[in-house]
A and B are shown apart, each in its own frame.
Chain A
Amino acid sequence: MSAESTPRREVVTGEPRRVRPLPRYRAQSEIDEQTALGGAYVRSLMRSQLRAGLTAFAGLALAAGTLPLVFEALHSNAVVWAVLGFATYPPLTLAGWWYVRRAERNERDFARLVEGRPAP
């Protein structure tokens, strides 16, 4: 916790919230009104996100599924120590970082699709 997290007290006024602004893009209104086309948009985003998640999950499951067998076969405490004590944590964080980048890219691509902008 640092000093900068103590906020100065000041009055903040936001811009007035409209109850239901008109959708800016055609695709967004399709999604908002839950038409078949809008549903298809959402499904495509879910599929790409699920694919990213399952890729990371497959890697993790493969490692966690085989490591106990490998340890059993090697019968070496030094290896167990080195792998479980130290070596697993960096790959776990890196896998998380990779997933976040993929997921945010999927969302950016989706926003571009909805707003009708061309891919860069």
Chain B
Amino acid sequence: MNAPGHPASVVAVALVVLATVLVGGFGLRISRTTSDFYVASRTVRPRLNAAAISGEYLSAASFLGIAGLVLVHGPDMLWYPVGYTAGYLLLLIFVAAPLRRSGAYTLPDFAEGRLESRQVRRLVSVFVVGAGWLYLVPQLQGAGLTLRILTGAPGWLGDVLVASVVVLAVAAGGMRSITFVQVFQYWLKLTALLVPAIFLVLAWQGDGQPRVSFDEQASAFRADHPLYATYGLIVATFLGTMGLPHVVVRFYTSPNGRDARRTTVAVLALVGLFYLLPPVYGALGRLYAPELIHGGDADAAVLLLPARVIGGLGGDLLGALVAGGAFAAFLSTASGLTMAVAGVITQDVLPSRGVRHFRVATVLAIAVPLAGSLLVSRVPVADAVGMAFAVSASSFCPLLVLGIWWRRLTPPGAIAGLLLGGGSALLSVAITVSGAVRPPGWPHALLAWPAVWSVPVGFLAMILVSLATPGRIPPGTNAAMTRFHLPEALTSGRGR
């Protein structure tokens, strides 16, 4: 592969890494209390918080993966960005305000606060760590791919580089600093795709606007049951967003429930705006980098196009901008996830609490996925992320929706739903990644896109077992419901 190995790209990556560490360090100066450290003292206003959430959310899967999938498999893959966006609408209408009003720091806190059970808390912690690690692996692998294409460096170097920078930024500043890092990185990512896209489209018009063809025989079929796969993708991404640990933790940084809602609408707009861009790269990649269709590394399309289409110094500089944006994507998502996973490890695994232990947990939180990214063979990033969404949709989504809206949820019900829904999704993903069941055939389709059946299993198990154990309804249920749903102004007199 002829790499756009211009020194400008390396400089751009170095600048992004440096800026991340510096902005993180700036946060360290103002991050004084434990509350600052974990939830930025709950003072982040909607517009700032929305940019931070979007910056954290737009990962390697969005920045590189979508264009690569569209390039190889055609426009049906656009369900990915639509699902990544629509997930926020569901988060908004069922979860955002009550979750903020629950007053908990993390998903395990929410589970314990609502169900008054240490057991449920521990199980939720396991799933948070599992989903977080599943989501971190493709981020690190994407970094490895990018650095290899830019510099020819061995594949593991990018993985290790991103992991190290994340440890520095997160362990140093915590949530306050991460908020500023994420805001900066949202705008960087948008610019890094928007500016080159404008030049690419101009160059395409200069070429006489050749038609992009996605005719059937050229499109490699991705599944032997494409309609089922599409629905699997829709269910996983629509329902999975609300439970992603790094997304959820950001809602606790809103001042109140009303602001949490307004934040989510702003996120919908910002994320939607970003997703207009990757398809452009996918379509132009089809035209200008057709060898990627069969060549494997389709995730590299976004990185290769500027040098390929525009060429010269301009192409190199635009390529450098894209490379910088890609690194911003790895760093922001990886630090958000590491933050969330480390928070859970600190509270539920390590013996005593405190900021020093949090730093130990940070190293632990990223070391395991780093080992995974180096050992496991590469799956296309968007697919790998899709699996994390499926696990989240089958475990956290039932827990959050039923926990917030249904008074008869019991701890045994929650445990059954988490184990049957989330457990079966996790198992399916593991079997798919291990390659034990291969396409074609229904067994592979069912395991690779589990959400269609595992989400109903999760909900049903939670509801049926709860109905069978009516004696175990937590005594504080009514108080919890009141706290979740009443506007803060009406509850301010009471203890939080």
Q: Give the interface size class of chain B.
A: 35 or more
Interface residues of A in 1-51 (CB under 8 A from B): 1, 5, 20-21, 23, 28, 31-32, 34, 38-39, 42, 45-46, 49-50
Question: Could you list some 9 contacts between A and B, CB below 8 A?
Answer: A20-B494, A38-B482, A56-B89, A68-B231, A77-B74, A92-B272, A93-B265, A97-B265, A100-B92
B227 is contacted by which of A50, A72, A84, A89 (Cβ under 8 Å)?
A: A72
- Asked if B170 is at the interface (CB within 8 A of a chain A CB), the reply is no
**Residue on A nearest B282 in the bound complex, by CB:** A85
- Chain A residues proximal to chain B, CB less than 8 Å: 1, 5, 20-21, 23, 28, 31-32, 34, 38-39, 42, 45-46, 49-50, 52-53, 56-57, 60, 64, 68-69, 71-72, 77, 80-81, 84-86, 88-90, 92-93, 95-97, 99-100, 103-104, 107, 110-111, 114
CA distance A33 to B352 in the complex (A): 36
Instruction: Tell which of B119-127, B256-264, B438-446 binds the partner.
Output: B256-264
B-side binding surface: helix, strand, loop or mixed?
A: helix
Q: Are the C-beta atoms of A53 and B76 separated by less than 8 Å?
A: no
**A92: contacting residue among B85, B231, B276, B279, CB under 8 A:** B85
By a CB distance below 8 angstroms, the chain B residues around A46 are 405, 481, 485
Contact B89 A95 (CB under 8 A): yes
A-B pairs, 4 with minimum CB distance: A89-B272, A84-B78, A53-B93, A96-B265
Report whether A42 and B481 are in contact in the complex, using a CB–CB cutoff of 8 Å: yes
The answer to whether B234 touches A68 (Cβ under 8 A) is yes
Contact A85 B234 (CB under 8 A): no
**Smallest CB separation, A65 vs chain B (Å):** 8
B195-230 interface code vs A (CB 8 A; 1 in, 0 out): 000000000000000000010000000000001001
Partner pick for A100 among B48, B265, B269, B272, CB 8 A cutoff = B265
User: A111 — which chain B residues lie within 8 A by C-beta?
Assistant: 487, 489-490
* Chain A residues touching B, majority SS: helix
**CB neighbours of B265 from chain A (8 A):** 93, 96-97, 100
User: In the assembled complex, which residues on chain B have CB atoms less than 8 Å from the CB atom of A103?
Assistant: 97, 261
Task: Select which of A5, A60, A89 is within 8 A of B276 by beta carbon.
Answer: A89
Check B262 against A88 for contact (C-beta < 8 Å). Answer: no
* Complexed CA–CA distance, A71 and B230 (Å): 11
Give the nearest-CB partner of A80 in chain B.
B75
- Take A20-B494, A45-B486, A99-B93 as given contacts and tell me if A60 and B86 are in contact as well, using a CB distance cutoff of 8 Å: yes
- Residues on A with beta carbons closer than 8 Å to the beta carbon of B494: 20, 32
Is residue B453 within 8 Å, beta carbon to beta carbon, of the partner chain? no
**A5 touching B48 by the CB < 8 A rule?**
yes
- Partner among A32, A49, A81, A97 whose Cβ is within 8 Å of the Cβ of B485: A49
Closest chain A CB from B430 CB (angstroms):
27
- B90 part of interface (Cβ distance < 8 Å): yes
Contacts of B48 in A (CB 8 A): 1, 5
* B288 within 8 A of partner (CB): no
Min CB–CB distance A95 → chain B (angstroms): 6
Specify which of B76, B94, B276 is in contact with A86 (CB 8 Å cutoff): B276
List of A residues within 8 angstroms of B478 by Cβ = 34, 39, 42
Proximity string of chain B (455-496) to chain A, C-beta cutoff 8 Å, 1 when within and 0 when not:
000000000000000000000001101100111011001110
B486 x A42 contact (CB < 8 A): yes
Q: Is B350 on the interface with A (CB-CB < 8 A)?
A: no
Contacts of B272 in A (CB 8 A): 89-90, 92-93
Inter-chain contact A84/B79, CB cutoff 8 Å: yes
The one of B180, B227, B489 in contact with A1, judged by C-beta atoms closer than 8 angstroms, is B180
Q: How far is the CB of B193 from chain A (nearest CB, A)?
A: 14
Chain B contacts for A90, CB-based, 8 A: 272
Give chain A nearest CB distance to B349 CB in angstroms: 34
